[in-house]
Amino acid sequence: MSLEETQVQTAGTHQRPYIQAPSGKGRMRAHIRKHAMPYLLILPSLLFLVAIEFYPLGVGLLEAFKYHNRVQPWATQYNGIDNFVKAFNDHTVRIALRTSFVMVFGIVGLSYLLGLLSGVLLNQRLRLRGVYRALILIPWVAPPVVSFISWQWMLNDQSGIINRILINLGIIGEFDPILWLADPTLAMVSIIVVGTWSRFPFMMITVLAALSAIPDDLNEAAAVDGATPFQTFRHITFPLILPVSVIATLLQAIWVFNDFGLPFVLTGGGPANATTPLILLAYKEAFQRFNIGYGTSLAVISMVLMLALGAVYLRLQAKQQGEMS
Amino acid sequence: MMVTVSEKPVVPAQAHDLNTSGRSRRRRRRVHGGKIVWSIVTHVLLILITLFAIAPLAWAMSSAFKTNSEILTGLNFFPRNPTWDNFAFVLGSTEFPTWLRNSLLVAFGTTFLALIIGSLGGYAMSRWRYRGRALYGNTLLIVQMFPGVMLAIPLFLLLSDYGLIDTLWALLVTYLTFALAFSVWMLKGYFDAIPREIEEAALIDGANRMQILWRIVLPLAGPGITTVAVFTFLLAWNEFFFAYVFLASPGKYTLSIGMYSFIQQFTTQWGNIMAAGTLTTLPVLIFFFVLQRALTRGLVSGAMKG
């Protein structure tokens, strides 16, 4: 940084070169300094991005085209698109993909509805507003493993509080518990409910932030014109929060699709493979069956799907920022 | 409100006017009655939603204070004979304290580094236009969409090659990288709001860019620093997947992996498991409630940016 210290000149910003650069050699140095500085600043983060994201990604992309099983490392070799062909013909993969989509649609849809409802309710002058908001945000900050374990226990068919309450109320028989996590359909329902539980607070604050950006006079004007609250919401409020909602929903879809902890901790992907989304299947192939190559190819498939969503997200994001500025 | 309406002198200039004001009075009364109903509905709905939100953790925490027999038979929420036994067991007879230490090390280490590296990147994003700026910013956003599993498999192989697997370092560098997008973008936003004049003055006084960043810009971006710090801490504290893949020996576990190993180990001793869960959750909740306002504001804008 010694060079920097002698340099008082144009290390300024792009917008305001507030002091004239000196002539000759000094200007040259100033020029390099000025242009090198931002790159020096982003260098550390770039190093980590390359080492932890892009390099592994590249290695992973290669692995996806290999036969690589850790049980028989000597047999490792490139096998072209065999892994992908295998994946497309694999019944388990198809089911896992379906499970992923059911999870994404169920959780994202329900968490948006619940988040929207809570957001609209909390966007009023209200007693205890801050308390409600803080408590509703708990699922979002609490360690997921702890929450999912607690849910798992609550949903347990023998010792879970939910079944015990139902038995106590006489709704179900003592020896006829509801198999919340052991019945394939109910396990999926449980996953969606718990997923909604963990995701709706994010939707709520997003909606709340969008709602608070709407000027009050807009709603008042609508009320003066004789619009019912529902009409105001439908024709004024909702269209205004729609852009933010779309982005939040997309992001959420990506997160839910990549969510490993929820199915892994809550159901372990079972019973059988009923609640195993693609991401969990990729993990199981790679780390439990040691099929590194095949597991990676499944991860690549899910990544391609997510990048498509991600591209839409970035597009909308850029569009919205363009509108705002 | 009703009183003012009825007390308002109505000038009966025209019958038509009188008529409308009478109608509007009725209507206002109806609206007012509707308001009370609506406010009740609001509170009922919000209470239900809140109960849904807090149920699992509230139940976990209350169970942590119950005796084993009460846990297996009771339906009551509040413990009848509150006991510290579960906590004593978790803290005294398990590796929980080691995991707590590991989690603290990783979380604070990640936070510290993410703040330094993130503020460098954020400063570059905020104060310079340069070739590759947009690419850098978008790359930060895009990498967040890489599925964890996609990265975990090759990272596992790579870290094994370098002997870093089953160490806390593996987690530290991974979490740090994941926190970068948020820290860079978040801090950029806060830096943008700091007037350049202050820096210009310092530049003229002979300070260099790094001095300006550390001594002038960062202190002014205090709320941003807090938000990034808490977010990074939460990320590192709560993360499960990579810790599960990278860590093999119980002595290296972080709390979330330790919790997961508990349900394998003490399958039905829910009191102990829930005591561990309570201890794992408590720091997060305290953090959150103290900094709630700044945090939610920051996190929403941050999440919307990336």
Check residues A193 and A11 and name the one with the higher pLDDT.
A193
- CA nearest neighbour of A180 among A199, A201, A200, A161: A161
Asked if residue A310 lies in contact with residue B138, where contact means CB atoms within 8 angstroms, the answer is: no
CATH 1.10.3720.10 fits B85-305, yes or no: yes
Q: How much is the average pLDDT of B16-20?
A: 43
Flag whether pLDDT at B25 surpasses 80.
no
Tell if the CB–CB gap between A283 and B152 is shorter than 8 Å: yes
Is residue B255 within 8 Å of B100, Cβ to Cβ?
Answer: yes
Phi-psi region of A171 (alpha: psi -120 to 50; beta: other; left: phi over 0): alpha
Q: Specify the fold of A77-324.
A: MetI-like fold (1.10.3720)
Q: Which uninterrupted H or E stretch holds B70? A: helix B68-73
What does the pLDDT read at residue A275? 92
- Among the partner-chain residues B45, B56, B210, the one whose CB lies closest to the CB of A154 is B56
pLDDT of residue B43: 93
A42·B118 Cβ contact <8 A: no
A63 interface with B at CB cutoff 8 Å: yes
Q: What is the pLDDT of residue A313?
A: 77
What is the count of residue pairs from A and B with beta carbons less than 8 Å apart?
A: 292
**Comma-separated ranges of CATH 1.10.3720.10 domains in chain B:** 85-305
Residues 6+ apart with CB under 8 A from B108: B233
Tell me the C-alpha to C-alpha distance, in Å, between residue B167 and each of A191, B95, B103, B245, B260.
Answer: 32, 16, 12, 11, 18
Alpha carbon of B15 to those of A248, A296, B5, B6: distances in Å? 54, 81, 18, 18
ipTM (interface pTM): 0.82
pLDDT single digits (tens) A87-117 = 888 889 999 999 999 999 999 999 999 999 9
Q: Is the pLDDT of residue A149 over 90?
A: yes
pLDDT tens string B170-221? 999 999 999 998 899 888 888 888 888 888 888 888 888 888 888 888 888 8
Q: Which string of DSSP letters, residue by residue, matches B185-240?
A: HHHHHHHHTS-HHHHHHHHHTT--HHHIIIIIIHHHTHHHHHHHHHHHHHHHHH--
- Cα B136 to Cα B154: distance, rounded to the nearest angstrom: 23
Instruction: Give the lowest-confidence range in A205-214, B190-199, B295-304.
Output: B295-304
pLDDT over threshold 80, residue B238: yes
Structure tokens at A35: 């242009």
Nearest to A121 among B46, B60, B296 (CB): B46
Q: What is the pLDDT of residue B278?
A: 94
Q: What is the spatial distance between Cα B255 and Cα B234, in angstroms, rounded to a whole number?
A: 12
Nearest to B288 among A39, A121, A141 (CB): A141
Check pLDDT > 90 for residue B293: no
Query: CB–CB of B117 and A146 under 8 A?
Result: no
The candidate with the shortest Cα–Cα distance to B177, out of B146, B153, B154, is B146
Q: Residue type at B91?
A: L
Select the residue of B55, B116, B153 nearest A296 (Cβ to Cβ).
B153
pLDDT tens figures, A113-144: 999 999 999 988 888 888 999 999 999 989 99
DSSP annotation of B21: H
Higher pLDDT, A268 or A192: A192
Tens of pLDDT, residue by residue over B128-159, are: 888 888 888 888 888 877 788 888 888 988 88
Q: Please give the structure tokens belonging to residue A215.
A: 């000027």
Supply the pLDDT for residue A3: 35
Mean per-residue pLDDT over chain B, rounded: 82
Closest CB to A299: pick one of B147, B245, B281.
Answer: B147
- pLDDT of A44 higher than 50: yes
Name the least confident of A316-325, B106-115, B222-231. A316-325
DSSP 8-class letter at A49: I
Are residues A13 and B237, on separate chains, in Cβ contact within 8 Å? no
Instruction: With CA atoms as reference, report the closest residue to B73 among A158, A178, A147, A170.
Output: A158
Kindly state the average pLDDT of the residues A158-168. 87
Give the residue from chain B lying closest to A196, CA to CA.
Answer: B53
Is the confidence at residue A10, as pLDDT, over 60?
A: no
The residue of A52, A61, A233 whose CB has the most chain B CBs within 10 angstroms, and thus the best one to mutate to test that interface, is A52
- Among A138, A161, A289, the strongest candidate for a mutation testing the B interface, having the largest count of B CBs within 10 A, is A138
Q: pLDDT averaged over chain A?
A: 84
**Whole-number pLDDT of residue A186:** 93
pLDDT score at A24: 60
Q: Which tens digits make up the pLDDT trace of B239-254?
A: 999 999 999 898 999 9
Å from B11 to nearest chain A CA? 22
* Cα–Cα distance for residue pair A52/B110, rounded to 1 Å: 14
pLDDT band at A199 (very low <50, low <70, confident <90, very high): very high
Residue B280 vs residue B301, higher pLDDT: B280
Stretch B49-53: mean pLDDT: 95
pLDDT for the residue numbered B13? 39
Q: How many CB atoms lie within 10 A of CB B108?
A: 16
CA distance linking residue A46 with residue B180, whole number of Å:
10
Q: B304 vs A306: CB contact, 8 Å cut-off?
A: no
Nearest Cα of chain B lies from the Cα of A141 at a distance, in angstroms, of 7
Round to whole Å and give the CA distance between A111 and A198.
8
Mean pLDDT of A69-83: 80
Measured distance CA(A63)–CA(A82) in Å, rounded: 12
Neighbouring residues of A298: CB distance < 8 A, sequence distance ≥ 6: A87, A93, A278, A281, A282, A285
User: Distance between CA atoms of A227 and B122, rounded to whole angstroms?
Assistant: 46
Give pLDDT, residue B275. 92
What does the pLDDT average to over A313-320?
76
CA-atom Rg of chain A in angstroms:
27
What is the average pLDDT across A210-220? 82
User: Using an 8 Å Cβ cutoff, are A80 and A65 in contact?
Assistant: yes
More confidently predicted of B19 and A54: A54
Q: Residue B299 — pLDDT band, cuts 50, 70, 90?
A: low
Mean pLDDT of A302-317: 81
For chain A, positions 269-288, list CB contacts with chain B under 8 A: 279, 282-283, 286-287
Sign of the dihedral through C-alpha A35, A36, A37, A40: positive
Cβ proximity of A40 and A54 under 8 Å: no
Contact B150 A60 (CB under 8 A): yes
